[in-house]
């Protein structure tokens, strides 16, 4: 066997589960820059519950933070067909890690997170199970234009509810309905659905070629941009309800200044998203709209959390700064 053949064989040999190369590639598969999405989603749910110990808050925050990564790696295992065309850099597509290993690690990670959350509240068991089932079946619904963004969004709503239920369990209190809770759930649902729909713009050619009938594939960019506008309007409206209801129930605090700053920044980013999405004519330009929509999602949920918990301002400022750092270090500018 000549040296060229040996080199080619080494390049395509998948890393074994216990090797550092596997974990390096698994982290890439988790999309570190998007862990902040699930992180802030769980945190905003937690902020709606009574205050709990700092240790519990940090432990739950870490569980929410990692959940997106394990979930993303799990769904990637079922989308190799379209990813091979739209994201050839990903380790699973390149064959540097095995699909079976990624499935095993992802499921173990999600189960471990579910166990931790269930220890805080027994209702988290069916919620976590529903989320894992949703992730495992997402690819089926992504192929249908009427389901994809909304199906993905309800799974993320579950993360917010896991945060809320964990807070109730840690504080030893019962579920109490509120305008803030309902409106926060709506903000998460429509805000994340808009992120998903916008994200489909970057994969139109690959999705069309592999039989994924996403909304942009079926209806085109113009109609999809109007659908995105509707989701953005619903997001802003729901967020506004949360803010107004919170300020009606509690006096202004110093930390609310930071909350308003996050709110304003989030609104600016969302408006920028909608302006840019109407200007996307080819999928290579899609990242210009996807970038601000994910920033808007994190900023708006951060503002809601701060209106509930003004004392969290320093922590969420650090959180957002870390998100910006991670975004700058993503492998491909066009992939978000």
pLDDT tens profile 262-302: 999 999 999 999 999 999 988 888 889 999 999 999 999 99
Residue 80 lies in a domain: yes
Tell me, letter by letter, the H, E, C secondary structure of 201-218: HHHHHHHHHCCCCCHHHH
Instruction: Tell me how far apart the alpha carbons of residues 294 and 41 are, in angstroms, rounded to a whole number.
Output: 12
Number of domains in the chain: 1
pLDDT reading at 8 higher than 60: no
Q: Which residue did the predictor score with more confidence, 231 or 283?
A: 231
Residue 234 lies in a domain: yes
Residue 335 lies in a domain: no
Q: 330: exposed, middle or buried (C-beta count within 10 Å: 0-12, 13-18, 19+)?
A: middle
Whole-Å CA distances, 196 to 28, 47, 117, 142, 261: 20, 24, 26, 10, 25
Q: Tokens representing 305? A: 């959390």
Q: Tokens representing 133? A: 């089932």
Mean of the pLDDT values across residues 246-262?
A: 84
Tell me, letter by letter, the H, E, C secondary structure of 37-94: HHHHHHHHHHHCCCCCCHHHHHHHHHHHHHHHHHHHHHHHCCCHHHHHHHCCCCHHHH
Residue 159 lies in a domain: yes
Query: What crossing angle do the helices spanning 20-30 and 99-120 adopt, rounded to 10°?
Result: 70
CB 302 within 8 A of CB 319: yes
The confidence score (pLDDT) of residue 334 equals 63
Phi, psi of 16 (to 5 degrees): -75, 155
Residue 257 lies in a domain: yes
Phi, psi of 15 (to 5 degrees): -70, 145
CB 157 within 8 A of CB 189: yes
CA atoms within 13 A on the CB side of 282: 2
Q: At 114, which CATH number?
A: 1.10.600
pLDDT reading at 5 higher than 60: no
Instruction: Tell me how far apart the alpha carbons of residues 234 and 152 are, in angstroms, rounded to a whole number.
Output: 17
CA atoms within 13 A on the CB side of 112: 13
Instruction: Tell me how far apart the alpha carbons of residues 71 and 63 are, in angstroms, rounded to a whole number.
Output: 12
How is the chain split among helix, strand and coil, in percent rounded to 5?
80, 0, 20
The confidence score (pLDDT) of residue 1 equals 41
CB 170 within 8 A of CB 119: no
Q: Where does the pLDDT of residue 3 fall: very low under 50, low under 70, confident under 90, or very high at 90 and above?
A: very low
The confidence score (pLDDT) of residue 91 equals 87
CA atoms within 13 A on the CB side of 79: 27
Residue 2 lies in a domain: no
Structural domain range at position 42: 14-328
pLDDT reading at 165 higher than 50: yes
Q: 69: exposed, middle or buried (C-beta count within 10 Å: 0-12, 13-18, 19+)?
A: buried
3-state secondary structure of 278: coil
CA atoms within 13 A on the CB side of 70: 21
33-55 pLDDT tens trace: 999 999 999 999 999 999 999 99
In the chain, the percentage of residues whose pLDDT exceeds 90 is 67
Residue 183 lies in a domain: yes
Residue 1 lies in a domain: no
Identify the CA nearest to 301 among candidates 190, 226, 150: 190
């Amino acid at each position: 066997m000549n040296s060229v053949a040996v080199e080619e064989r080494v390049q395509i040999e998948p890393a074994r589960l216990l090797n550092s190369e596997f974990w390096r590639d698994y982290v890439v598969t988790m999309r570190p820059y998007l862990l902040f999405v699930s992180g802030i989603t769980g945190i905003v749910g937690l902020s709606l519950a009574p205050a709990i110990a700092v240790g519990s808050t940090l432990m739950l925050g870490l569980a929410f933070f990692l959940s997106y990564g394990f979930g993303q790696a799990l769904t990637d295992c079922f989308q190799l067909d379209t990813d091979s065309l739209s994201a050839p850099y990903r380790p699973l597509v390149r064959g540097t890690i095995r699909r079976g290993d990624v499935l095993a690690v992802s499921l173990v990670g999600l189960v471990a997170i579910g166990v931790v959350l269930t220890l805080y509240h027994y209702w988290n068991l069916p919620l976590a199970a529903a989320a894992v089932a949703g992730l495992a079946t997402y690819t089926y619904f992504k192929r249908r234009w009427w389901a994809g963004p909304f199906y993905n969004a309800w799974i993320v709503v579950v993360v917010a509810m896991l945060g809320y239920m964990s807070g109730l369990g840690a504080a030893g209190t019962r579920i109490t309905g509120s305008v803030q809770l309902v409106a926060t759930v709506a903000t998460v649902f429509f805000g994340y659905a808009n992120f998903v729909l916008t994200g489909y713009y970057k994969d139109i050619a690959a999705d069309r070629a592999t039989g994924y009938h996403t909304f942009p594939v079926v209806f085109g960019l113009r109609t999809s941009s109007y659908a995105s506008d509707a989701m953005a309007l619903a997001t802003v409206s729901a967020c506004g309800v949360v803010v107004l209801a919170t300020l009606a129930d509690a006096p202004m605090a110093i930390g609310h200044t930071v909350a308003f700053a996050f709110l304003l920044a989030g609104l600016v980013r969302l408006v920028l998203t909608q302006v840019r999405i109407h200007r996307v004519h080819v999928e290579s330009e899609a990242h210009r709209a996807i970038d601000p929509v994910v920033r808007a999602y994190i900023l708006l949920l951060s503002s809601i959390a701060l209106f509930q918990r003004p004392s969290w301002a320093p922590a969420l400022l650090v959180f957002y700064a870390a998100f910006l750092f991670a975004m700058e270090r993503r492998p491909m500018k066009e992939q978000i």
